[in-house]
Homo-oligomer: A and B are copies of this chain.
Amino acid sequence: MTAVTEVDTGKCQTGEYRKMLESLPVFMNVSDDAFIEIMDFIAEIDKLKTISRQTLILDGTRYENDAEHSWHISVMAPLLIRYLDGEAPDLLKTIKMALIHDMVEIFAGDTYCYDKAASADKKEREEAAAKRLFGILPDAQAEEFLNLWHEFEEMKTIESAYAAALDKLQPLIHNYLTDGKSWKLHGVYAGEVRVRISQLRSVSLKLWEFADSIISMSVSKGYLKAEPIDKKMHKN
């Protein structure tokens, strides 16, 4: 909760890069707030490159960051669209969501999806962070990005459902192809991952079967833990 009260949800006008940009000769005689705001935002989001995820890059040498992950799922969007079962999504809108969906972590931090304690106030922290970050932009663009992010979070449209599916599928592939190192480190159960990828089923039976197959193979290889014993006992 601390993060919410600390966050300034008003228009952010004092970006660290803004001052450097304002000192450029091109801005000496003309005031062009919208252009400076956009450039300030472009500089601000560079921080996404420093936000580490829990997924290793495929050569196994280091964790990937949010910018790399956003790029990866954006490329996946046009490639996997043919496997969607329902109405075709607006691909541009899907990719825009994929590009910006993790930006709120610049001010809200990353929350590991299987960390229940940190997930508790995630929603509030991220809402404040979104308003602060996208608020750097001129109003019309701030509104577009904030709406796209809200749509992604609510997952009620085909575009957001598809973007969310890609967001879940990519780390699954990475965890499998890096011998489940990250899953093993956190002692993740197959059931937790199955719940997480269940949304894929409503978007694409093919992608869900693929994901489910990765989970089965990951259990048999020891990357993921099978169901906890006490859970099995409760069933009887």
Interface-facing stretch out of A2-10, A23-31, A119-127, A149-157: A23-31
Asked if A71 and B79 sit within 8 Å, CB to CB, the answer is: no
Q: Which residue of B lies closest to A50 (CB)?
A: B59
Q: Which residue of B lies closest to A217 (CB)?
A: B24
Asked if A209 and B71 sit within 8 Å, CB to CB, the answer is: no
Q: Taking the full assembly, how many copies of this chain does it contain?
A: 2
Q: Which residue of B lies closest to A23 (CB)?
A: B217
Asked if A79 and B141 sit within 8 Å, CB to CB, the answer is: yes
Q: Pick the most buried of A24, A47, A75: most chain B CB atoms within 10 A of its CB.
A: A75
Interface-facing stretch out of A93-101, A108-116, A183-191, A195-203: A93-101
Asked if B75 and A216 sit within 8 Å, CB to CB, the answer is: no
| Residues in B neighbouring A177, C-beta threshold 8 A | 17, 20, 43
Asked if A58 and B17 sit within 8 Å, CB to CB, the answer is: yes
| Residues in B neighbouring A144, C-beta threshold 8 A | 78
A216 to B39, CA, bound (A): 18
Interface residue SS majority, chain A = helix
Asked if A35 and B83 sit within 8 Å, CB to CB, the answer is: yes
Q: Mark A46-63, 1 if CB is under 8 A from B, else 0.
A: 111110000001110100
Which of B20, B71, B100, B174 is the one whose CB lies under 8 Å from A67? B71
**A118 interface residue (CB < 8 Å to B):** no
Q: Footprint of B on A, CB under 8 Å?
A: 17, 20, 23-27, 35, 38-39, 41-43, 45-50, 57-59, 61, 64-65, 67-68, 70-72, 74-76, 78-80, 83, 91-92, 95-96, 99-100, 137, 141, 144, 170, 173-174, 176-177, 206, 209-210, 212-214, 216-217
